[in-house]
Amino acid sequence: MKKFIGLVAIVLFTSVFSIFGYKYLAQNDSNNSQFIKTQAVSNDISADSLQGHLVNVAHSNEQNNLIGNELPDFRKVVKNTKSAVVHVRNTRFVQRFQPYYFGYRQGQVYKQEGTGSGVIISPDGYIVTNNHVIKDANELEVSLDNNKTYKASLVGTDPNTDVAVIKIDANNLPYLPFGNSDDVALGEWVLAIGNPYNIGTTVTSGIVSAKGRDLKGNKRIDNFIQTDAVVNPGNSGGALLDTRGELIGINTMIFSMNGSYIGYSFAIPSNIVKKVVDDILEYGSIQKGVLGIKGAELNGEIAKKLNIDQTEGVYVYEIEPNTGAAKSGLDVGDIIIKLDNIKVATMSDLMGYLKTKRPGDKIKVVALRDSNAKGFEVVLSKNEAAYLKKLGLSVKNVNKDVLKSYGVKNGVYIDRINNRLLFEYGVKPGYLITRINNTPITSVDDITNVLQSLENQRYLLEVVSPDGRVEKYIFQ
């Protein structure tokens, strides 16, 4: 009996010891697992993102802008920035022409209104918005966040980038500083502020989904920041902000099958916007820096045809003479992979960065030649020639002496003509294009921008022959 009781005691002691031992080991294992997970998370955080968190904390005097180190707290950013985003109302008067026997008679004048958003960028009333928000406006009105309204005037516009600058007569206004859109990272939290559907100032949030996005079928190379922040009609021209409250983009487009937000929104990067605004305010027109190459965006299919391994970058297939690229030593067959410190994986990357530069700017180009990286310093040149597909003409800039010989102060030279109608009317290479509608044409950039802004409208083309004869033609 004693032997049996002793055996039971040993079994009980062993069981209790096992239970306590299991709990102790389980607790230690849990602690170890937690430590391992923490280490794994830490290893996934790059030095750049850690630096970003430090910047965010440094810019927040009231509290850390991460709730539980997981989600951002946008309250302070919204409080400090909301009043710098405005509502823009575009009013235009349209007169319809009605059929009347063998002609037309003037019909009733209709009032059309459109709305959008804008961002105050200076305390004295300069506002940036989209060109399509203010296009063809007869009247512009701006409403501030405090419900004050002002008449606005158009300062300048660039249809190519869809950026416009307007101004109101006011001072000491809240405004937003431009951030550096090149530093924006995928996955970074962003805020969109605007006036969708004319319901009033609205704030949405999301992350950066992509950079350098080129929307096919948009008639030009684009370099959008793509986000999943909710943007709807009326948000155009509004602000895309980072967690520091800096302006990193102007919300411009959505990708949708039904006209409303379905998950994708696009903003013009702030570096492009700032350069366009500076050009409009300083020069009155857009200054475009030209690299001087013709290239093709690499992918797997093209790389296979070229028998190369590189599947990212821009393959140079032509160097334009007397340009910065020609003088720098860049050559056909080079693959451009960097401009300054910006990676070039697509043509959109290359064109987007060049949109932030002017003629005379120096940039460092890194290109692969025989699989070896080489650096080139290129001085960007002015855009001297263009092919106008809409008119079927090639044009180029001319100097003042040439203009004087034609007896005009401005114009671009028709170098080649593929337009059968104009050719039949007698317009030939050697003519100058001096005006479109009432807009003087001083450069190939001018004529490109004007034609792009007209889209499907009728316009009056004014040309001058070599003997000084002025001729006008209407195009639809």
Catalytic residues: 132, 162, 236
Q: Which single residue is written with the structure tokens 């009032």?
A: 111
> Contact, 208 vs 191, CB < 8 A?
no
Dihedral angle, C-alpha 144, 453, 398, 278, nearest 10 °:
20
Q: How far apart are CA 53 and CA 50, in angstroms?
A: 5
Q: How far apart are CA 245 and CA 191, in angstroms?
A: 9
Between CA 216 and CA 244, with CA 341 as vertex, the angle to 5 degrees is: 80
Q: How far apart are CA 455 and CA 135, in angstroms?
A: 12
Neighbours of 28 (CB within 10 A): 10
HEC sequence for 67-134:
ECCCEECCHHHHHHHHHHEEEEEEEEEEEEEEEECCEEEEEEEEEEEEEEEEEECCCCCEEEEEHHHH
Q: How far apart are CA 334 and CA 366, in angstroms?
A: 10
> Contact, 256 vs 279, CB < 8 A?
no
Q: Which single residue is written with the structure tokens 């490109």?
A: 448
As beta bridge partners, residue 91 has 113, 139
**Joined tokens for residue 342:** 């910006």
Q: How far apart are CA 337 and CA 144, in angstroms?
A: 44
